[in-house]
Structure 1
Amino acid sequence: MTHPSLEYVLVGCIGALVTFLLTPLARRAAIRWGAVALPRDRDVHAVATPRMGGVALFAGVALALFVAQRLPTLHGAFDKGPEMAWVVGAAAIICLIGILDDIFELDSLTKLAGQVLATGLMVTLGGVQLGSFYFPFGDSGTVVLGSDLAIPVTILLTVLTINAMNFIDGLDGLAAGVTAIAAGAFFVFSYHLTQQGYLDVAATPTLLAAVLAGACLGFLPHNFFPARIFMGDSGSMLVGLLLSAAATTATTSADPQSFKSAFGGLPLLLPLLIPVAVLALPFVDLLLAVFRRVGRGSSPFAPDKQHLHHRLLEIGHSHRRAVLLLYFWSALLAFAGVAVSFSTGPWVVVSMLIALVVVGLVVSLVPGLRSRLRKGRVVTAAEDDIRARNPASGRPPVQEHPVQPGSV
């Protein structure tokens, strides 16, 4: 007999190892097929970089799930709940659409149609549906959605998550790291519920989260700055789909009436809150971009170099430090809900989170303040030099003491 946690570690490591080993092959295939991202004005990378990293990610996820189905405990995740075969099939479809986009650069409507197709198969045939969710306000507590409403709502939320993860893929290693953080938060949440008896130890959201986190961690050594390969749309759309599947199944897997915590049933809102928290950065960046572009009279879809990661680079952060800062904020948002929900002393956790927010703000803004102070000193010195050379321009120049006769 093996402990379930060891089986989760095993499938996570398999996902990481397979992805790590197959990424160089995906890179060679991308170069051969012309799936290469050429530098553009709005891009951060300065050299042509292959895409199609999603091929290795999909292989790692698929093989890890194949092994999990044959393990003593985790095979139970395939016997009840969503049809895992349709989840993998939807992932394959959306990865294929991403490969075509990496090679031929499909138009947005074609990609959207492919996203709806893959998501629709996962939701209708795979059974990954947001059938109900806990709502802490009002008398009902649990809001039950009929199939007529659950299917379009789940498809909409999944498509939004897919495009949000696609949108955040702007710096080397950013999308893979944020996905690993989000999947890690889901895993901690789901596995804690299994230890408390609210979920079966072999649950779909726990398994998907472990496998996805492992695959992204295996991809990061090739994708972190300086990246040798990008995950491309084949990867960003894939991780968005799987992340949404884990969130949806986690939302509907526990009984809200039997769950007790320091905040009552708040942990049951976590699967809905974590995607919002983790994807807050790309969503906020998207809204700011739309307002910014419309405000200056251009199209909301017109590209520019004023996204959050561009701003971090402009104020003085290096590429690596900008990515690490975005990791920090994503982890803080993702794991804050986990810590507060399961803590017996929630206000202590809240105080620690506030302290971390303050530290994060200081670390994020100090380079910009330092740069402004440095520029201010340079400008002041230049103005003093101009006034010294041209007294009529303003403040009189500094006068030297005249030498008195006979003082030498």
Structure 2
Amino acid sequence: MKQYLFIIILTAAVTFALTWAVWQLSLRFRLYPGIRERDVHTTPTPRLGGVAIFLGMVAALTVSAANPFFGSVWVRPQTMWAVLGAAALICVVGVIDDLFDLDWMIKLGAQFVAAGLITVVGGLQILSLPIGELVVGSSWVSIGLTTLAIVVVMNAVNFIDGLDGLVAGVCLIANGVFFAYSYILSRDTGQSSYFNLASLLAAVLVGACLGFLPLNWSPAKLFMGDSGALVLGLLMATSAVAITGQMNPAMLNPEQFGRSQMLGAFIPILLPVAVVILPLLDFGLAVLRRMRAGKSPFAPDRQHLHHRMLDLGHRDRDAVVIFYAWTAVISLAVLLMYIGTSSEWPGDYLFGALFAVVGIAACLVVTLNPHRRAARAASNGEHQ
């Protein structure tokens, strides 16, 4: 655990220093676009923070290569180089888009190329699903399924990038929970080492978000842009595939660990989805909304979940904190259910379920509260 904490602190420190440097350079050379119609901010703000996030991650992964504790992660260097190459491609394309607005088809093509690098060159594929003995079909099916999953998560994370500190904070919480899950799962499956690619990437993502958030918190001095949000989504999807899609179903035999069979089987799939449930929900709604209107699925608009939160009456910071709460409640609930099913008494998972019920109820009350206040204010105005 100390080695992972070192990686988190190192990534955070390097990312923070680079974020400040990128901010200063962007201001000096006026590397920022004008205000768009769908933007919430009113002051032109640099959006090249993804460069700092990417370079901070590269620094941390380079240090891990020289650390003998992470030797098992670097035993197949082509996998790591494929991940870094894919992230570099997405960062470059994202920077160009942040400065000059690329056509969405070009961006989507680059995303599929990056995902293909990870699946084909890196060899990270969804080979099986930990449900009984369910194994994905041919290698082409694995490649196609994994590539599509990575591209979907990348865009889902990018779609919620609309408020100061939103993506950085949501990804910080999500990857913190996922790191805990991957670490505990390594213990439960009897692995000789807790050092694996999924945990390393999660730790690096936590550190990068920690380092970037101070200058991205409202009022933001720097945005991460597509170069940051897409890279975060890429590595989040990669870490999930690295642990869930590569898992041998027999290693999670529910009877062996005394787990509820249904929960023990499905949680390894549910938790990677749970940590990005809000981005995925926003992505799905946006695609359906735009296709029904006869537009491109990637055509920008001002109807994302965070925009709707503002329309309800929330202030920017309040909306961001509520998003944090939703992410924490959903992801922690699934993690607690997983931990609970580790005991010999299957009923222990009910604590996680109770946490989910109470947490979701509380989030609903807070989310809908400004709407109720606005309704009461309008009603009072009518009676005056």
TM value normalised by structure 1: 0.85
**Match in the other structure for 1:335:** 332
Q: Which amino acid aligns with 1:372?
A: A
SS at match of 2:129: strand
Comparing 338-347 with 14-23, which one deviates more in the overlay? 338-347
Unaligned ranges ≥5, structure 1: 382-408
**Match in the other structure for 2:91:** 95
**Match in the other structure for 1:324:** 321
SS at match of 2:207: helix
Q: Which amino acid aligns with 2:374?
A: S
CA drift of 1:278 comes to 3.3
SS at match of 1:213: helix
Residue 60 of structure 1: which of 53, 56, 59 is its match? Answer: 56
**Match in the other structure for 2:177:** 185
CA drift of 1:85 comes to 1.7
**Match in the other structure for 1:162:** 154
Conserved 8 A contact 1:212-1:239: yes
State the distance in 2 between where 1:302 and 1:80 align: 39
State the distance in 1 between where 2:77 and 2:196 align: 8
Following superposition of structure 1 onto structure 2, how do residues 134-213 of structure 1 map, counting pairs within 5 Å? 134-136=130-132, 141-199=133-191, 200-213=193-206
SS at match of 2:135: strand
State the distance in 1 between where 2:358 and 2:123 align: 42
CA drift of 1:220 comes to 0.5
Conserved 8 A contact 1:37-1:50: yes
Verify: 1:374 aligned to 2:377, yes or no: yes
Give per-residue Cα distances to partners, 1:325-347, cap 9 Å, x unaligned: 00111122222211111214111
**Match in the other structure for 1:396:** none
Verify: 1:356 aligned to 2:348, yes or no: no
State the distance in 2 between where 1:151 and 1:300 align: 23
Larger Rg: 1
SS at match of 1:142: coil
Following superposition of structure 1 onto structure 2, how do residues 378-393 of structure 1 map, counting pairs within 5 Å? 378-381=381-384
Residue 44 of structure 1: which of 36, 40, 43 is its match? Answer: 40
CA drift of 1:29 comes to 3.5
Q: 1:306 to 1:39 in 2, by over 3 A?
A: same
CA drift of 1:24 comes to 1.6
Q: Which amino acid aligns with 1:211?
A: V
Q: 1:356 to 1:149 in 2, by over 3 A?
A: same
Give per-residue Cα distances to partners, 1:302-339, cap 9 Å, x unaligned: 54433221222222221111001001111222222111
CA drift of 1:32 comes to 5.3
Q: Which amino acid aligns with 2:195?
A: A
Q: 1:295 to 1:89 in 2, by over 3 A?
A: closer
Give per-residue Cα distances to partners, 1:361-392, cap 9 Å, x unaligned: 111111211220121011112xxxxxxxxxxx
Give per-residue Cα distances to partners, 1:21-43, cap 9 Å, x unaligned: 10021223434565414222221
Comparing 57-66 with 257-266, which one deviates more in the overlay? 257-266
Which of the two has greater helix per residue? 2
Conserved 8 A contact 1:187-1:210: yes
Aligned positions, number = 373
State the distance in 2 between where 1:77 and 1:238 align: 20
State the distance in 2 between where 1:289 and 1:72 align: 45
Q: 1:282 to 1:252 in 2, by over 3 A?
A: closer
Unaligned ranges ≥5, structure 2: none
Verify: 1:242 aligned to 2:201, yes or no: no
Q: Which amino acid aligns with 1:70?
A: A
Conserved 8 A contact 2:130-2:269: no
